[in-house]
Amino acid sequence: MAWAEKYASSAGAGDNNGTSEAHAWDLATAIANAAAGDRVNFKGNCTTGGAVTFNNANGTTLLPIWWRAYVTNIGDLDGTTTCVTFTCETNLVTFSGTYQIFTNFKFTSTRTAGGGVTIGTNHSQYFDHCQFINTGANANSYCCNVGVAAVLTRCYFSAAVNATNAVTGSGGGSLFGCVLTGGGTNILNTSGTFIVMFSIFFAGNIGILHASTSGGMYMFNTFYSITADCIKITTVPGVTSVRMIMGNIFANAVYGINQASGADTANVPRFHNMSYALSTGMETGFADFPSFGNVAEATDPFVSTTSSNADFLKLVTGCAGKAVGFPGLFENLATQTYTDIGALQRQEAVSGNVKTIQGVSVSGIDAIGA
């Protein structure tokens, strides 16, 4: 599609028409006036100065609204991990519009009365190469709540250890190729059906807490330096729900998968997961449905900082390259190459509007490159 280019910045003005950088909108005017098919090019950093709600409902399936950050020339951040910073301080940023795309924004917060960012339950909020960081020292200071129908790819999430959860997720949300860390109890606390693939969880207590009778799909993720359980299920699975835990790497934790409710587990298939240095075991609480093809490694696949797994260590050491989410191949994997296990490498083929990542098609996410 051909985008209608519009402009906005913190130096813009409400009486501008947004048709050029010299006539850029301010943020509030851009939110109020962006139309279906607009690409709102936002220049430079911004301090919100108050609560902000991206509630523009003009986007449609075929004509979304794309909020694209840039520094000097429009498009100069496309495809990079560099972000324009929205300093939110103690103010909440809410995304409640329809069919909106956000690329290369970093939302930083010190909010203690709740999370820094809330992505609402309206249709198709899509984020790529964005960062969500909350340094607020409070149990409620999660960095992001991922709502229904929200899709986030190659994003980075971090919250202080004071926060109970670094990220919370509602039914219907999806994370692909993301990096998540922090939170005193859970890195990601999901309710309802939630999908997480090709992502990295590190330096937390519990990687994913699934506290819902609804289904969830957790596939091809890497869990590293988790002090308790990589994935913990605390509710009885619904009879018609589907949960799938497949192709993950669980390293340096207590359990890989902990079915804490100990109830009916016949609809929680687990297969082709790999473990290293789990103090208690790959899984517990599964009485009536066996797992298949799991592998326990004897040698630490994350030990070297100079060889093929160096990209992963860059992500977990100061998070240089954050939001990439696709580390290189790991070394020291016994006998097989395990290209189907863990967040190992990005393999994609693009055809039209469909992107295939590790054999899984995700429709529509290449439309932003038009």
Over its length of 370 residues, how does the chain's per-residue pLDDT go in tens digits?
A: 789 999 999 999 999 999 999 999 999 999 999 999 999 999 999 998 889 999 888 899 899 999 999 999 999 999 888 899 999 988 889 998 889 999 999 999 999 888 899 997 666 899 998 999 999 989 989 999 998 889 998 888 999 988 999 999 877 789 988 888 888 899 999 887 889 998 888 888 999 998 877 778 899 888 888 899 999 988 766 655 667 898 888 888 899 998 876 555 556 788 888 888 888 888 888 776 778 888 887 766 665 444 444 444 444 433 333 333 333 333 333 333 333 334 433 333 334 444 433 334 344 334 333 3
- Closest by CA to 150, choosing from 365, 370, 369, is 365
Q: CA 157 to CA 144: how far, in whole Å?
A: 8
CB 241 within 8 A of CB 220: no
Strands 360-363 and 354-357 turn out to be antiparallel
Q: How far is CA 28 from CA 25, 36, 49, 100, 248, in A?
A: 8, 17, 11, 16, 43
Q: Write out pLDDT tens, residues 275-319.
A: 888 888 888 887 767 788 888 877 666 654 444 444 444 444 333
Strand partners, 158: 133, 181
316 membership: H or E segment, kind and range: helix 310-316
- Closest by CA to 101, choosing from 42, 52, 162, is 42
Q: CA 170 to CA 190: how far, in whole Å?
A: 6
Strand partners, 226: 204
Q: CA 224 to CA 199: how far, in whole Å?
A: 11
Tokens in use for 350? 């693009």
Tokens in use for 233? 């299920």
